[in-house]
Amino acid sequence: MNAFLARSPALADLHRVAPRLLLACAVASLCGCAVVRVDMPAQGVTPPDRFAEAPAEPGTALPDTARWWRQVPDPTLHALIERGLQANADVRIALARVKEARGVSSQAESALYPTLTGFGGIGRNRQDILPSTPDGLPVPLPDVRVPISRFDGFGLAAAWEVDLFGRRRSDIDAAREAELAQTERVHGAQLLVAGDIAANYAEARAIEHRLGVLDRVEATLQMLLRYVQGRFNAGQASRADIDRVQAQLAGVQGQRAPLQGLRASRLRRLAVLSGQTPDALTALPAPTAAAPADARVIPTALPTVLPSSVLEQRPDVRGTARQVRALAARLGSAKAELLPSFYLGFLNTDGRLSIGDNLGARDQFTAWGVGMRLPIFEGGRIRARIASADARLEAAAVQHEQAVLTALEDVENAYAMRHALDQRATQLTASLQHGNDAARHAQRLFEQGSTLLQPALEARLAALQREDELIQTQAARARATIAFYQAIGGGWQDDTPARAEAVEHTPH
């Protein structure tokens, strides 16, 4: 390369001439710059000031929703979710898509800079020329053989498209917005994974508690069966009384296998969600006093959120907004194709061609140039591309409106479901309290000899039935709470500045 520069005075002066050329291009860009303006589609949805199902009172303060599960004092749940955020397949796929989008963005940015290409070659060639004998000659002509030829050459070529009308800038904006949209998909995947792990964990813990209640129900029925059998033997009860208790016992025993199977499926799901094989998780750690692992630790009061804050937090809403801006930039790029394109170029070559031993020549060639390309007739290609880009932008705007409506609906539904389950839990708690009181009083009457044991056992069974219903309601309330935090967006904040209502694509 040094030898090449030494033999290329024009190229050796490139560092002195290039700054002047760049300055001239910059002045031309500033003086002749035109703006390709793309108006953003009008927002078709006006969010309300507040949610209709939100509590009238201010409610609790909004916690750190980026790690909302930290409110639950359960280290097992924390560990599962943190592992899932790192190892879950959906999250890793989304992260790979971000890397891909980042590469596309870097590729688009590279179009703003000049390209410099070096080339060279060396070769040898031997070609025999055997002419045909003309008609009428008695003898053929001798063979004519061209001697060995040698050639070599190398050089540099530079080219730069001056982005006067912002087409390249539009492509960069589109790529950057598409990259940010992919980042929101990562946030969405994280939100879904955290919610799915928490919901399956709450369900698995609820099943464990239900199995514990089932053990007590079965033990009580076994006691009742022995008591009725004894009374039957004494002639104080009928065979129908025994059959009725046996039917209840068989029904309760039949509930065990489905509950155990459901718990196993929840554990397998937790393992897969956290990036493990399905058989990696066969049991959960036993609850402790500090971590009761029970739905009662789920916060009972929901924070009051505003629709505007939800739309700012939801990854799907932010992602569709990014997609709209990306397609608006692509529309600007398509429109800029109607305008002329300007190019700067430089070429310097140095080479030698030899024919035989004595015939040959060395030559050097240097050229500067400015070019322009103006589309005159493209068969409607550019107009068709603009129409397609405009239609894609329109569809993306509608998808964004749909995402906004879905977000508002999800929060309203989550609020309403929590209100309903709160009321049911309150009623079942009172019912359980009354049932326990009734069982205790019946047991006391039996101990005092005022009544038989059977009413006391039946009162205990009724109370256990209320306890099972309360556990199921508490689990449903836990899932509703998880759905609420998913509905408000999970808290992954967007720290990029908001764009204006119109996107202007112009070179800088």
Whose structure tokens read 């529309």?
A: 331
Q: How confident is the model at residue 54 (pLDDT cuts 50, 70, 90)?
A: confident
Residue 138 predicted with pLDDT over 90? no
Among 10-19, 315-324, 385-394, the least confident range: 10-19
Among 118-122, 285-289, 440-444, 498-502, the least confident range: 498-502
Q: How confident is the model at residue 161 (pLDDT cuts 50, 70, 90)?
A: confident
Q: How confident is the model at residue 113 (pLDDT cuts 50, 70, 90)?
A: confident
What pLDDT does residue 12 have?
46
Q: How confident is the model at residue 153 (pLDDT cuts 50, 70, 90)?
A: confident
Q: Please give the model's pTM, rounded to 2 decimal places.
A: 0.79
Q: Give the count of beta carbons closer than 10 Å to the beta carbon of residue 400.
A: 24
Among 83-97, 291-305, 407-421, the least confident range: 291-305
What pLDDT does residue 11 have?
43
Residue 459 predicted with pLDDT over 60? yes
Q: How confident is the model at residue 360 (pLDDT cuts 50, 70, 90)?
A: low
Length of the chain: 508
Coil, strand or helix at 375: coil
Closest CA to 54 of 492, 500, 484: 484
Closest CA to 218 of 255, 244, 243: 255
CA distance 462 to 474: 19
Q: Give the H/E segment covering residue 216.
A: helix 167-233
What pLDDT does residue 446 have?
86
Q: How many Cα atoms sit within 13 Å of 452 on the Cβ side?
A: 10
The tens digit of pLDDT for each residue in 77-92 reads: 889 999 999 999 989 9
The tens digit of pLDDT for each residue in 209-243 reads: 999 999 999 999 999 999 999 988 988 888 998 99
Strands (E), 103-145: 115-125, 128-129, 144-145
The tens digit of pLDDT for each residue in 188-207 reads: 999 999 999 999 999 999 99
CA distance 467 to 431: 9
User: What is the mean pLDDT of the segment spanning 339-353?
Assistant: 83
